[in-house]
Amino acid sequence: KAGVTQTPRYLIKTRGQQVTLSCSPISGHRSVSWYQQTPGQGLQFLFEYFSETQRNKGNFPGRFSGRQFSNSRSEMNVSTLELGDSALYLCASGDGEDTIYFGEGSWLTVV
């Protein structure tokens, strides 16, 4: 069974630009959650989607948004990028019964 797939793996953006990251969950998983990981703050929860509905949201500004499609694939978007948005963005999927499994992440550098 294929794992969680995230694209792109690495990207560099300029301050003020926007970025969209994509996540394909494990087959059969309907829950997708997103995390931001930085050396200073560790892993911080962004939001979770289940069957196309946002179920929970972390303490991030409105510049961070996401969505989930009918095939459970998810995207997250960050608008008006700031230098502090440089981080590893991790997507995780779950079946709602056990725990969650992470992808390899998307490394975002904002310059």
Partner 1 sequence: QKEVEQDPGPLSVPEGAIVSLNCTYSNSAFQYFMWYRQYSRKGPELLMYTYSSGNKEDGRFTAQVDKSSKYISLFIRDSQPSDSATYLCAMSDRGSTLGRLYFGRGTQLTVWP
- Give contact residues for partner 1 (rule: CB under 8 A): 4, 6, 31-33, 42-43, 45, 48, 50, 55-56, 58, 90, 92, 94, 96-105, 107
Q: Which of these, 93, 110, 109, 111, lies nearest to 9 by C-alpha position?
A: 109
Nearest residue (CB) to partner 1, 12 versus 80:
12
Cβ 12 to partner 1 shortest distance, Å: 16
Nearest residue (CB) to partner 1, 50 versus 79:
50
Cβ 102 to partner 1 shortest distance, Å: 4
SS3 1: coil
Nearest residue (CB) to partner 1, 6 versus 19:
6
Cβ 98 to partner 1 shortest distance, Å: 7
| Angle at alpha carbon of residue 88, lines to 84 and 93, rounded to 5° | 130
Do residues 106 and 6 touch, judged by C-beta distance below 8 A?
Answer: yes
Q: Dihedrals φ, ψ of 72, to 5°? A: 75, -10
How far apart, in whole angstroms, are the C-alpha atoms of residue 69 and residue 56?
17
Nearest residue (CB) to partner 1, 5 versus 20:
5
Cβ 31 to partner 1 shortest distance, Å: 5
Helix residue spans in the chain (DSSP H):
none
